[in-house]
Structure 1
Amino acid sequence: MMNGLKRIADAVSGKRGRWITLVLWIVIVGLANAFLPSSSDHKDDAAANLVSSAPSVQADALNEHNGIPAIIAWHRDAGLTDEDLGQIQALSKKLADQPLPQQTELPPLHEMPLPALKAMVSEDGTTFLQTVVFDKNASSDDLKISLEQLQADANGIFPSKPFDAALSEKGLVGRITGPAGIGVDATSLFKDADVSLLIATTLLVLVILLFIYRSPILALIPLVAVGFAYGLTGPILGWMADEGWITYDSQGLSIMTVLLFGAGTDYCLFLIARFRSVLTEESNKKQALLKALGDSGGAITMSGLTVVMSLLALLLAEYGAIHRFAVPFSLSILIIMIASLTLVPALLAILGRASFYPFVPRTPEMQAARAARKNKPLPVPKSKPAFGIRLGEAIVKRPKTIAISTLIVLGITAAFSTQIKFTYDTLSSFPKDMPSREGFTLIGEHFSEGSLAKVQVLVKTDGKNLPLDQKLGELANISSVSEPAANTKDSSIVSYNIELAMNPYSIEALDMIPVIRSAAEQSLSDAGITDAADKVWIAGATAEQYDTRHETTNDAYRIIPVIIGMIALLLLLYLRSFVAMLYLMGTVLLSYFSALGIGWLVVHYLFGAEAIQGLIPLYAFVFLVALGEDYNIFMVSSIWKKSKTMPLNRAIVEGVAQTGGVITSAGIILAGTFAVLATLPIQVLVQFGTVTAIGVLLDTFIVRSFLVPALTVWIGKGVFWPSKQRSASVKEVEL
């Protein structure tokens, strides 16, 4: 690998090679954007998350009423008037005469007498629910067009604009909720996030780089590299999606943007920092670049491959939202890694020392010559050791104390991760003023939360009459059970609609699914029907969320061991040390659980969330374990190289000093980019960004700065096992 990196470095840093490299990147990105489709044109926000074998999906296939319902909640604080109900009927007639795009079903409210309509109003007389059902294959964009047309039709009938009115107003208010309204709102949130994320992340990285390095040119180099990588990743994704090879959604593209800027800037800084250091020793900029790439290229490659392989493991997921992350994330990291090893060296070769203007690094001889030309005295070297040296020496003197104390701190914070409460409620991830969430609130306050999404039980009775409605009605947390209805698709199947006495998206509601299934199967068995387990199906949003929890839990059990195994194998191949692999993996895993614990404290007590989204632990694991090892790999690889020519303790001191500044800078930038997600009005991204940013900061300031070097000193020469001590010819000395 090192020989390959040397050849690459020599090719991209030559007088002609650097310009050829830059031109090639420009041409490739330009052609890709000119001839390949855009990624935004092929994202699929309506892609299925559950596999076809999921029980709720199988139940939905049997369900004759399996469209996507939109529930319109009409509300007036002072009570709905006859005029309001008449206008609702007028809207129903218009929708019946001129159906909306994708509209499949419409309860005939316009054909009902006014007294019958009044009987459907809430007990307090303030709220009425109207349903419109759309085709189950309609995309979120299709549904958005339909709902916008619905609102336009309503504005032509009602004297006011009820969908624009605030809930606090005294007039008539309309809110669209239900699966259709929730789906459209979810898509709009992520669509609005794309541009804002790109702008916010770019500005944040630029400001942090300017603050840390105080060089405008240097600050732009990583952004240029990330820009090229972003410009190439998008068209490739669009092409792959257009060919039908992959599927991705708006959420994946949003997080991919953050990942590109965060991880991409890190890889660029690993090389740039080493190049700046070598320029203080080497006057020839090409030789300095060759040495810098030789020193850091292996760590960049290893770090990039670690992240790419970890993200590709998401292909093992059955749950669609997780599976769809794999290709966009891994491809973006692969491309930015290649850019860091080719485009960034070419830019540095073109700009040379000017990259760091106005703080240009020079060798002592160059400084002396410059001072002589200006008739100025040479700057007096600082007598006080640099902070990195002092930190490294402190760690070497007290490794056990530092290691034990950091392990205790991380262990205590990790213990809080056991207190986390999870939710799979899509609505809880929305801002409180989103229309679908406000509509759900109206339903919960004036009807019952369970009426928003009823559970449907389908059973094959073999022609027997069963008292299943009575059996189900006796269960706790059930508000009502409908009379059995025949299924037109299969006359041997009857269905029951169950209204839960709770939020149908809550964990408590999800736990009712196996209870309902068990009761239904028992009723069939009691009636002498064989194979009862194969003759009961449960459909509805609650059943879908139950299957979501089941699939994502299984995905976590399947993916996490694979990621751990792959990273461990890559570490073994790179470091050739079983001991180092064990404690490097152990520290990152401990840091991950600590991030979950602290993240829960922040999200729960500071942000006021009662639970975090169930997908957060797996999302955070993939990023924190893979990206956390980046910093360990970069620092340990420096220690390993230095240990060839000096005592191990001294190698640790200098390794910490050499890599400390760049890892700190990289960690701040990476944490900052993930923290940008916390500014969005989407709770799942807020929680993910918060936990991941905390984890990156822990890896940067605790694990890398203290724990890993302290453990390395404490273990001593055993860290190389089973390889031989690399500096065996050098006697270890006390510092």
Structure 2
Amino acid sequence: MTRPEHIGWAPWGAYAKWVTITVAVILSGLALGFGGASEVSADPAAALPKGAESATAIRLQQRLPSGQLLPALVVYSRAGGLTGQDRAAITGDAGRLAALAEGRRLPPPRFGPDGDVALVTVPLDGSLSNAELTEVVGRIRAEGRQGLPAGARVEVTGGAGFKVDLAAVFKGADITLLAVTAGVVALLLLLTYRSPWLWLVPLTVIGVADRVAGEIVAVLTRTTGLTVDDSTLGITSVLVFGAGTNYALLLIARYREQLRLHGDRHVAMTGAVRSAAPAILASSATVTLALGTLAFAASPFNRAIGMAGAIGIVTAVAFALLVLPAAMVLFGRGLFWPFAPKVGQADPTRTGPWSRIGAAVSRRPAVMTAVSLAVLAVLALGIGGVRSGLSQTERFRDRVEAITGQETLSRAFPPGSAQPLVVIARTSAAEAVRAAASAIPGNPRVTVTERTPEYTRADVVLKAEPGSDAEFAAIRDLRAAVHAVPGASAVVGGPAAADLDERDAAVRDQKLIIPLVLAVVLLVLLLLLRSVVAAVTLVLTVVASFAASFGAGWFAFTHFFGFPALDLSVPLLSFLFLVALGVDYNIFLITRAREETPRAGTRQGVVAALAVTGGVITSAGILLAAVFAVLGVLPLITLTQIGVIVGFGVLLDTLLVRSVLVPALVTLLGDRFWWPGAPHRAGSPGSREAGLVPEGSR
């Protein structure tokens, strides 16, 4: 039997493991102690795509007096119409609310054409901190309700209302997400290993990795200008827990195999790492590089997820391949009790249920391929009629007051009047810009609202319904008209213009990033497998899996969830996560098939690979799907949609694509699957390191 000293130096060696754990504890402690909180940009233009005209409009507006203000819109309503007593109370409120505006003049109350809604605008200081703004908006809500006759209703919306309510729905959400994620992972690890304490080791290691990744991201927000929000941090945590636990499951499965071959746990861990590391590194590299392609995205949200997610994956794989092995060998075989592996014990997976599934697939590969593709095709039919783009009021699952107030305004006043388009131009050409804006199709209402010696602002109210194709077409017409005015340097902004810019950026990002992701995945597979046929086949299977899960997800959103549309970022992010993470399971399966093929042939090699990896990969897939589903605890519809599509896609990939379709395709292709390369011969160094050659034959 190989002695411990023959393993060479390794972080999990008999003495080195203590050094590894000590260094990991110290470095993690320093990161957690000095990382600090993530810095969130207060600049509204920073959340818009690079080069967006609406962002330029915001920065120009900040040079005007109104650009320093954040309006709170106080909306009064009564079913059947406001009474004279209501109107008197509203007028009295306007006087009291002026004090909260720090002496700024409030415009007189505006009453809707049907007399059932009134609006009072309270201009607040735009530099107020979140805590100060929350206090002021709370006082406005209290003042509005005080003395209001029974049956009347008051709601505070506008920029101030949305900012306060958004902060409120995310308050404590990070703790909830972390707690639910850790709970789900703990439960599934406990069920997987059926050991009362084994699950604690990977959960602790990956949990620390998640916190360290979060602190690294926090440091970068203060040193590189990286802009993140709660949803970005939530997705990063899900990636760390999901991918990190997947790597841990694969490593521990290999370690269990090696403990049946070696009496010394340090030697067993060396064999486990040597055999598992190539697949884990290839998988993590695929996800990291795919996330890295988001650096080319125009959307700041996508770029932030790309950088933060890549940091999370690198941290997770470092902990999985360095810290986890050292932590595992701190304990003896009793860590696996009551199912501790013994030296010389037969591997039960070789004759387990996954072996029988593999044999059944290999007997009728053509039928299995046809059935699998038919299921994927039926699910993909749901893609038809997909609608993208959620308005500001449609992005939250919680019906907060700012949303209901905005909806009340939209029903009472002409479309767009609550949030008009903003045109800013040189004052010298302001009149020409106003005339050009008024002349576009639809004859919008154009009102000059602010003027300085340098710039003039005009508000434009369109007649088209907010969020409609007609509105976006009118915005394009408006931009074309004002851009054509000589010397005006006019720009068009406002919430609707920002939505258009985000929509255009999303389309641009999909056309650029999706091919880059496919190229990255294909390149990693070519380098790992050295087979063109294998790489192309596996890429096509994960693309088919994405199409099916995307179609099924859209069907669920329209028929069960009642979502009006997909958020703009959902198609791209779902594609990236599903393709990059979904190919992980193909990598785990096919790298093992490559090891088994030299001694068993391609057909039996993939059956053997499915037999020994089926259990661990299925556990990993169920766990990853459950972790992504946890995104649903956060209040954004965007995260719910990503969680549903990716979670279902991972299950589909695990239970159908990797378990049936890929083995069937490998069987049909035979040795051509490895073209132009071929798996190494039995007895080669690669076979020995993988544990394919018995120890006594060395």
Using structure 2 for the length normalisation, give the TM-score: 0.89
Q: Which amino acid aligns with 2:356?
A: R
Q: Distance in 2 between matches of 1:45 and 1:470?
A: 34
The offset of 1:436, in angstroms, is 1.1
* Aligned match for 1:319, one of 289, 299, 318: 299
Match of 2:78 in 1: 76
Q: Please report how far the alpha carbon of residue 495 of structure 1 lies from its aligned counterpart in structure 2 after TM superposition.
A: 2.9
Alignment check: 8 A CA contact 1:213 1:219 kept = yes
3-state SS of paired residue (1:232)? helix
Q: 1:671 aligns with which of 625, 639, 652?
A: 625
Conservation of the 8 A alpha-carbon contact between 1:9 and 1:345: no
Q: 1:9 to 1:88 in 2, by over 3 A?
A: farther
Alignment partner of 1:451: what SS?
coil
- When structure 1 is superposed on structure 2, of 690-699 and 72-81 the one drifting more is 72-81
Structure-1 separation of matches of 2:634 and 2:448 = 45
SS of the residue corresponding to residue 450 of structure 1 reads coil
Relative to structure 1, the CA distance from residue 538 to residue 7 in structure 2 (aligned partners, 3 Å threshold; closer, same or farther) is farther
Deviates more, 1:220-229 or 1:56-65: 56-65
Q: Counterpart of 1:212?
A: 192
Say if 1:717 and 1:725, in contact at 8 Å, map to a contact too. no
Change in Cα spacing, 1:600 to 1:98, as seen in structure 2 (3 Å) is: closer
1:397-408 pair list within 5 angstroms: 397-408=363-374
Aligned partners of 1:45 and 1:187 also within 8 Å:
no
Shift of 1:542: 0.4
Residue-by-residue CA offset, 1:128-166 (whole Å, 9 max, x unaligned): 1111234556665554344234335556xx236x9xxxx
Whether 1:426 aligns to 2:398 is no
Q: 1:388 aligns with which of 347, 350, 354?
A: 354
The whole-number CA distance in structure 2 between the counterparts of 1:306 and 1:8 is 29
Partner residue of 1:113? none
- 1:495 and 2:458 aligned: yes
1:437 alignment counterpart: 403
Deviation at 1:462, TM superposition (A): 6.7
- 55 and 666 in structure 1: CA distance in 2 versus 1, 3 angstrom threshold: same
Pick from 657, 661, 670 the counterpart of residue 716 of structure 1. Answer: 670
Tell me which amino acid in the other structure corresponds to 1:426.
Answer: Q
Q: Could you tell me how far apart the structure 2 residues matched to 1:686 and 1:251 are?
A: 11
Equivalent residue, structure 2, for 1:410: 376
Secondary structure at the aligned position of 1:324 is classed as helix
SS at match of 2:121: strand
Contact 2:427–2:451 (CA under 8 A) maintained in structure 1: no
Determine if contact 2:433/2:482 at 8 Å carries over to the other structure. Answer: no
Instruction: Name 2:147's counterpart in structure 1.
Output: 159
Query: What secondary structure sits across from 2:178 in the alignment?
Result: helix
SS of corresponding position for 1:224: helix
Unaligned runs of 5+ in 2: 685-698
Any conservation in 2 of the 1:596–1:691 contact (CA below 8 Å)?
yes
Are 1:553 and 2:507 an aligned pair?
yes
The aligned amino acid for 1:54 is A
Per-residue CA deviation, residues 382-419 of structure 1 (Å, 9 max, x unaligned), is 99942111111122222222122212221332232242
SS of the aligned residue for 1:131 comes to strand
Q: How does 1:473-488 map to 2 (within 5 A)?
A: 475-476=441-442, 480-483=444-447, 487-488=451-452
Once residues 384 and 695 of structure 1 are traced to their aligned partners in structure 2, the CA distance between those partners, rounded to angstroms, is 28
**Equivalences for 1:109-258 in 2 at 5 Å?**
109=108, 117=109, 120-134=110-124, 143-154=133-144, 158-159=146-147, 170-258=150-238
Q: Which residue of 2 aligns with 1:32?
A: 31
Alpha-carbon contact 1:57-1:539 (below 8 Å) kept = yes
Larger displacement relative to structure 2 (69-78 or 193-202): 69-78
The separation in 1 between residues aligned to 2:129 and 2:115, in whole angstroms, is: 35
Q: CA deviation at 1:671?
A: 0.3
1:9-34 C-alpha deviation (Å, 9 max, x unpaired):
95232221222222221111112222
2:418 paired with 1:452: yes
Instruction: Report the Cα distance in structure 2 between the residues aligned to 1:723 and 1:516, rounded to whole angstroms.
Output: 59
Q: Which residue of 2 aligns with 1:697?
A: 651
Percent of paired sites with the same residue: 31
Structure 1 residues 464 and 686, CA, compared in 2 at 3 Å: closer, same or farther? closer
SS at match of 1:282: coil
Q: Secondary structure in 2 aligned to 1:565? A: helix
Amino acid in the other structure paired with 2:360: A
* SS at structure 1 position matched to 2:677: coil
Q: Distance in 2 between matches of 1:274 and 1:218?
A: 15
Give distance in 1, aligned partners of 2:242 and 2:6.
28
Larger displacement relative to structure 2 (600-609 or 138-147): 138-147
Distance in 1 between the 2:141 and 2:229 partners?
26
TM-score, normalised with respect to structure 1: 0.85
In 2, Cα distance between the equivalents of 1:605 and 1:395? 34
Superposition pairs of residues 9-88 of structure 1, within 5 angstroms: 10-39=9-38, 42-44=39-41, 48-51=46-49, 53-63=51-61, 64=64, 65-66=66-67, 67-77=69-79, 79-88=81-90
Cα displacement string for residues 449-492 of structure 1 (whole angstroms, at most 9, x for unaligned residues): 4222112345669769669669847735x7x513456742447x
Does structure 1 residue 591 correspond to structure 2 residue 541?
no
- Distance in 2 (CA, whole Å) between partners of 1:510 and 1:385 is 61
Residue 657 and residue 507 in structure 1: after superposition, are their counterparts in 2 closer, same or farther (change >3 A)?
Answer: farther
Aligned to 1:358, which of 328, 338, 349? Answer: 338
Equivalents in 2 of 1:675, 1:464: separation in Å?
A: 52
* Whole-angstrom CA distance in 2 between matches of 1:179 and 1:355: 55
Q: Give the corresponding residue for 2:687.
A: none
- Given that 2:383 and 2:550 are in contact with CA atoms closer than 8 Å, whether structure 1 keeps it comes out as yes
Return the letter of the residue paired with 1:549.
R
In the TM superposition, what whole-angstrom CA distance separates every residue of 1:662-711 from its partner, at most 9, and x where no partner exists?
11000000000111122443211111111110111111111111111111
Larger mean Cα displacement after TM superposition, 719-728 or 550-559: 719-728
* Superposed CA RMSD: 3.1
| Superposed CA offset, 1:624-653 (max 9, x none) | 111011111111110111123331111111
Query: What residue number does 1:370 align with?
Result: none
- Secondary structure at the residue paired with 1:342? helix
- 1:229-271 per-residue CA deviation (whole Å, 9 max, x = no partner) reads 0231222222222224422211111111222211111111011
Instruction: Flag the 1:655–1:135 CA change in 2: closer, same or farther, 3 A.
Output: same
Q: Distance in 2 between matches of 1:277 and 1:204?
A: 26
Mean CA deviation greater in 260-269 or 552-561: 552-561
Task: State yes or no: 1:269 paired with 2:249.
Answer: yes
Q: 1:79, CA displacement in angstroms? A: 4.2
Q: C-alpha offsets along residues 200-226 of structure 1, whole Å, 9 cap, x if unaligned?
A: 111111112222322121221221111
Q: 1:516 aligns with which of 470, 473, 478?
A: 478
Question: Could you tell me whether the CA contact under 8 Å between 2:617 and 2:654 is conserved in 1?
Answer: yes
**For 1:427-455, what per-residue CA distance to the aligned partner results, in whole angstroms no more than 9, with x for missing partners?**
11223521111102211233344222112
For structure 1, the 5+ residue unaligned runs are: 1-5, 110-116, 163-169, 368-380, 731-735
Aligned length: 675
Residues 333-385 of structure 1: per-residue CA shift (max 9 Å, x gap): 111101111111112111232221222222347x9xxxxxxxxxxxxx99994
Change (3 A) 1:295 1:383: closer
Equivalent AA in structure 1 for residue 336 of structure 2: F
What CA distance in whole angstroms lies between the structure 2 residues aligned with 1:461 and 1:224? 62
Give the Cα–Cα distance (whole angstroms) in 2 for the partners of residues 571 and 282 of structure 1. Answer: 31
| Aligned residue type for 2:658 | R
**Any idea what the Cα deviations from partners look like across 1:17-61, whole Å, max 9, x if unmatched?**
22222222111111222233234xx24475612246322223334
Identify the residue that residue 535 of structure 2 maps to in structure 1. 581
Kindly indicate whether the alpha-carbon contact (under 8 Å) linking 2:595 and 2:679 is maintained by their aligned counterparts in 1.
no
Paired amino acid for 1:36: G
Contact 2:446–2:460 (CA under 8 A) maintained in structure 1:
yes
**3-state SS, counterpart of residue 303 of structure 1:** helix
Q: Secondary structure at the match of 1:569?
A: helix
Q: Post-superposition shift, 1:281?
A: 3.5
Q: Deviations over 1:62-83 (max 9, x none)?
A: 4444443321112233643455
Amino acid aligned to 2:140? L
Q: Which residue of 2 aligns with 1:608?
A: 562
1:545-573 CA-to-partner distances (Å, cap 9, x unmatched) read: 10111112212222222222222212111
